[in-house]
Structure 1
Amino acid sequence: MLHDYDWGDAAACRDTDPDTMFVEQAKQERAKTTCLGCPVRTECLAHALDNQLEFGVWGGMTERERRALLRRRPTVTSWRELLESARAEHARATTDPRCTAA
């Protein structure tokens, strides 16, 4: 589950200068690379979306990308629940042999 622990302690950026995640334009792409492979990327993104955080790179998305996502999905009331459900479905689909093509 996304909310069972303090996910920030496991974040790939936990020891990074926070200012590197709150940058503009081309530097945002570099900041997003910090999120690649982060074990709590989904939790981070859900936190940013649920709290409508305006600034910084969170969960591998810039503020512009998050705003666009929020506009496309205005009926989502809990990104944490939606992303948790998607993660569980993905795990089932990748481990259930009936879900893989032969």
Structure 2
Amino acid sequence: MWVEDWSMQAGCRDTQPDTLFVKGAEQNKAKQVCASCLVRSECLAEALENRIEWGVWGGMTERERRALLRNNPGASWGEVLRAAKAADIRVTV
């Protein structure tokens, strides 16, 4: 089920924001926060649709999101990720 107002259910809602806006190897720790999040797809769609450039969103770093955007320039990420979530498919780079 897709959650429009996802931020209140985010696994990181009680995490310090500085934890998710890190560089290098620290990004792997930030991505672990996302691993079991129930609204990971919604978060990722938000970052992709709004071209958010910094931080880990939906379990992806800014580099990983840029690669998705570059390889799929016309994608409607809300639709793509909504369908993937309904089919229980994980999007990877």
TM over 0.5: yes
Residues 28-51 of structure 1: per-residue CA shift (max 9 Å, x gap): 001000001100000000000000
Query: What residue is the counterpart of 2:40 in the other structure?
Result: 41
Q: Output the aligned Cα RMSD.
A: 1.4
Runs of 4+ in 1 over 6 A off after TM superposition: none
Identical aligned pairs, as a percentage?
Answer: 58
**Unaligned 5+ residue runs, structure 1?**
92-102
Residue correspondences, number: 89
Q: 1 or 2, which has the higher helix percentage?
A: 1
Report the TM-score when normalising by structure 1.
0.81
- Checking the alignment, whether the CA contact within 8 Å between 1:2 and 1:80 is kept in structure 2 is no
Query: What residue is the counterpart of 2:7 in the other structure?
Result: 8
CA distance in 2, matches of 1:16, 1:87: 24
**3-state DSSP of counterpart to 2:87:** helix
**Unaligned 5+ residue runs, structure 2?**
none
Larger Rg: 1
Matches within 5 A, 1:1-102: 2-4=2-4, 6-76=5-75, 78-90=76-88
Residues 47-89 of structure 1: per-residue CA shift (max 9 Å, x gap): 000000000000000000000110010121x201111112223
